[in-house]
Amino acid sequence: MTLQAQVIELGNDLWLQTLQEIRHDFYHWPEYVYLESQRTDTIPEAILITEAEKKFFVPYLLRKCDDILSEEVKSADIFDVISPYGYPGILLNEAGAKTPGFADAALDRMKQEFRDRGVCSAFFRLHPILNESFTEVFQAGTFTANGETVSVDLKLPNLWTHTRKGHRSTINKCKRLGMVAKMVPFPDYLEEFVSIYEETMRRVNAATGYYTFNFEYFTQMNDLFGINLHLCIVEYENQVASVGLYTECCGIVQSTLGGTRDKFVHLSPGSLETDFARYWAQERGNEFLHLGGGVGGSTEDSLYNFKSGFSQLSHKFFTLRLIADEEKYHHLVNLRAKMLGVTASELLQSNFFPAYRSR
């Protein structure tokens, strides 16, 4: 039996029908992919590949490659594909995951579909929890290791005993100072949240680039996600000291975006916020609170060190880097190299994918 490939647009009911059959996360929702397409000026789509009862599904953003080329060499017919921000990854239903060879065949079918549509490359971030078994399901060498992420196993009976000693001291200190953590309606604190988030991004020198999200983005996020979006705040001396935005889907709670007021950083109210969120998530019957990793998947930075203090459970974080059309890919690398005044091999050796976007 041959594999059938179908590109699914946002309004197609098949997108949600497919998600109803496979465990997924909020990153796979059409609403989320739409939100990301608005932020990144890309086209939101998903692809479904089937063979009998076996299914392979992945959402993505389609973008033109014009933005990296000079006016005189623009190639309107060349596209590439990226994951939305976060950890969307590939979804396989049980039949697909358990049938030897199906996953690899589906991946080849996707590459063929992309090539036919003028897509030269695709970059996907895998889901550290949902895609954990993929190194056994797919052919060896399919994925690139990019570090680790941390999650709290909410099935454990006593989360406190799995908390680093220094974190316990900080959490207790926050409570002694009179800090209070609680879940609140996101719309009621939207402006405060954005203010604290932006202050935090400036402080950590991430005010420009990939991690910038504005007031309009968060307003849309609230409108689209509704009851699946949860805001945890920590109040101190009648002020909001820190904020954390969480999503909830299929037993997985994701810690997404947040921050701390500059003047309260030395008190670490974020420790109390994360502590409160894990017990809240556990009481609601969830299986994991995924905290994510360090910057760029690093396990060496302070962000990863902070997260790992709440749990000893870590997951490998993988990416999938596909060249769907070798000729078009190297054409873009050569054009970009010429524009930048460097050699094509310099771009190819950068370890950034796709290489033509490395600078």
Contact 122, 82 (CB under 8 A): yes
Give CA 21 to chain center in angstroms.
21
For 309, phi then psi, to 5°, come to -75, -10
pLDDT of residue 114: 97
pLDDT (0 to 100) of residue 211? 57
* Cα–Cα dist 353/275, whole Å: 36
Those residues whose C-beta lies under 8 Å from the C-beta of residue 37, and which sit 6 or more positions away, are 43, 44, 61, 84
What was the pLDDT predicted at 209? 52
pLDDT confidence of residue 74: 61
Q: Which two tokens stand for residue 127?
A: 């889901």
Total Cβ atoms within 10 A of residue 343: 13
Q: How far is CA 262 from the centre of its chain?
A: 26
Spell out the residues 6+ positions from residue 122 whose beta carbon is closer than 8 angstroms to its own. 60, 80, 81, 82, 110, 111, 114, 320, 321, 322, 324
Gap between the Cα atoms of 307 and 149, Å rounded = 9
**Domains contained in the chain, CATH given:** 4-142 (3.40.630), 150-317 (3.40.630.30)
Which pLDDT score, from 0 to 100, does residue 108 have? 97
User: What was the pLDDT predicted at 322?
Assistant: 97
Q: Is 71 helix (H, G, I), strand (E, B) or coil?
A: helix
The pTM of this model reads: 0.93
| C-alpha separations of 166 from 37, 297, 341 in Å | 40, 23, 50
Cα–Cα distance for residue pair 64/77, rounded to 1 Å: 8
Determine the residue type at 30.
P
Cis ω for the linkage preceding 354 (within 30 of 0): yes
pLDDT value at position 295?
Answer: 73
Q: Which residues contact 106 (CB under 8 A, 6 or more apart)?
A: 3, 49, 51, 54, 56, 96
59 membership: H or E segment, kind and range: strand 54-64
Q: In the chain, where does DSSP find H-type helix?
A: 13-21, 30-40, 94-98, 102-116, 134-137, 165-176, 190-203, 215-225, 269-283, 302-308, 326-340, 344-348
Rounded average pLDDT per 10-residue block, the chain, 359 residues? 92 97 97 95 97 97 85 72 95 97 97 96 97 95 94 96 96 98 96 94 69 84 92 97 97 96 96 98 98 75 91 95 95 91 94 91
The count of other CB atoms within 10 Å of the CB of residue 198 is: 16
What DSSP character marks residue 83?
A: P
Using CA atoms, how far apart are residues 36 and 50, in angstroms rounded to an integer?
A: 26
Question: How many residues are present in the chain?
Answer: 359
| 46 strand-pairing partners | 8, 59
